[in-house]
Structure 1
Amino acid sequence: MSEQLKCTQMENGQLPETLTVQEVQKILKLGRNAVYNLIHSHSFPVIRVGNLLRIPREPFYAWLATSHVVRY
């Protein structure tokens, strides 16, 4: 899928079932290291397929909606 199509889908609220690290970066407006720190803090579920990391959309947004402090 092209990067432009992904951006258009994100803008229209049509996100895939799983998010990439880059998509989480865009959603949270954070750098790559900060997103990896969140992933390694086990704040939300992560699916590892080989070297690829995928974040399930629904649990991620549920985590985002709750008020909390993450320390890493």
Structure 2
Amino acid sequence: MNGKINIEKYPEVLTPKHIQEILDIGERQTYELLLSKPFHYVRVGRMYKISRETFFKWLNGS
């Protein structure tokens, strides 16, 4: 991660691509993270959806 993240630039519901961008990690690491369930996500078919609020709370250690 480089510098401070502008949380407001991201939509209310994040996708794995957003997580990749925020954490600066690859696709495989992103899905490994999601499957380790450190935060709540919803799976709709093959798509993963993550609440922005939930993700950033996890990221900030809350």
TM-score range, shorter chain: 0.7 to 0.9
Work out the percentage of aligned pairs sharing the same amino acid.
38
Secondary structure of the residue aligned to 2:9 is coil
| Aligned residue number for residue 20 of structure 2 | 25
Shift of 1:12: 7.9
The alpha carbon displacement at 1:46 in A equals: 0.8
The equivalent residue for 2:59 is 64
Q: C-alpha displacement at 1:13, in angstroms?
A: 2.9
Q: Normalised by the size of structure 1, how large is the TM-score?
A: 0.71
Gaps of 5+ in 2: none
- Provide TM-score, normalisation by structure 2: 0.82
CA distance in 1, matches of 2:52, 2:31: 16
1:39: which partner in 2?
34
Higher relative contact order (CA 8 A, sep 6+): 2
Task: Give the unaligned 5+ runs of structure 1.
Answer: 1-9, 68-72
